[in-house]
Amino acid sequence: MIVPTRVLFQHAYGKYALGAYNINNLEQAMGLFKGCIDSQAPFIIQISKGARSYTDKRMLEAIIRTADTIWPDALFAVHLDHGDEETAMECIASGFYSSVMIDASHEAFEGNVATSKRVVDAAHKLGISVEAELGMLGGVEEHVSVSEENACLTNPAEAEEFVAQTGCDSLACAIGTSHGAYKFSGSQGIHFDVLREIQRRLPGFPLVMHGSSSVPPEEVSRINAAGGRLKEGAKGVDTAQYLPSAKLGVCKVNIDTDGRLVWCRVHREHFANKPEDFDLRPPGKTFMAEYGKFIAGRNVLLGSAGQLEGAREHALATA
């Protein structure tokens, strides 16, 4: 059942975080739904601009609607990930999305406020909630100094002002994470001091953590052992930090890269072990099973596992 993102946030706030998983195809959808039902977790499906154009956005929507009928007990929201203004407006008008993200974080503060507010105004007319972003992710490279890194982080005082001026429903904060398979080096990690101060200024307001993949070293090693050439030694987010982040108001934890690593490992190992094989179904089957296990495991770490019935009762009570 598709439910409003805001309802899921209300149930999760301060207790656990919802896994927000990106999907591009039916194999990811099948693994995601199975993993969330197996772990009894509510969840968020994210669709990026790139995912919408990978095949055809109607295909992805049809996959999600069909998965909803295959798993009638699933409880989830559908979210546009990293939307620009045009895509966000399109998704709002489509009637399919529970929430959209407007990512105008590359604009200066005033421009970001103006763009985000236009999207919020359009979305709220139709009861859709909006995630906006303040701060810059992705500054965490080896060559970036600590002062440069801190300059990219969300300024808590600005966050308070930004939420007041835009009326957005959740905020993606830059707290030290970055997208992709190469994240932290050395002792870098989540800036809990920044997170704590944002929560102090915005009590009860849902925060979002992007770039939350953990980039498991064993996945990277297995991919490379099967012919891949990923840089080893790069660290992602420490999964033990998901729950402490949730307690500080992070309701949504975005995970995409780790799922792509599972896909890559399964397919590389399959064809390395069976070079005579050319069929897509055997590795596809293995991937769906492995991705389902991965999702269930992440939900345990996020604290969303076992929350399905409570979240459903809350959703029905607020409907």
Active site residues: 81
Q: Are 19 and 299 in contact (CB under 8 A)?
A: yes
How far is it, in rounded angstroms, from Cα 294 to Cα 267? 16
- Contacting range for Zn ion; rule: CB under 5 A; set: 88-96, 251-259, 271-279, 298-306: 251-259
Q: Which tokens is 146 given?
A: 């600590």
Taking the complex as a whole, how short is the minimal distance between the CB of residue 306 and ligand G3H, in angstroms?
27
Q: Quick check: 211 binds ligand 13P (CB under 6 A)? A: yes
Residue among 1, 50, 109, 142 that touches ligand G3H (CB under 6 A): 50
How far is it, in rounded angstroms, from Cα 225 to Cα 272? 9
Helix (H) and strand (E) counts in the chain: 14, 8
Residue among 16, 20, 22, 175 that touches ligand G3H (CB under 6 A): 22
Q: Quick check: 57 binds ligand G3H (CB under 6 A)? A: no
State which residue, 13 or 182, has the beta carbon closest to ligand G3H: 182
Q: What is the CB-side half-sphere exposure of residue 200 using CA atoms within 13 A?
A: 9
How far is it, in rounded angstroms, from Cα 118 to Cα 130? 11
State which residue, 40 or 178, has the beta carbon closest to Zn ion: 178
Residue among 15, 118, 124, 179 that touches ligand G3H (CB under 6 A): 179
Q: Quick check: 49 binds Zn ion (CB under 5 A)? A: no
Residue among 112, 170, 213, 304 that touches ligand 13P (CB under 6 A): 213
196-200 own/partner pairs: CB under 8 Å, 24+ apart: 196/248, 197/156, 198/154, 198/156, 198/159, 198/160, 198/171, 198/173, 198/249, 199/248, 199/249, 200/156
Taking the complex as a whole, how short is the minimal distance between the CB of residue 204 and ligand G3H, in angstroms?
26
**What are the residues binding ligand G3H (CB under 6 A)?**
22, 48, 50-51, 81-82, 179, 256
**What are the residues binding Zn ion (CB under 5 A)?**
210, 254
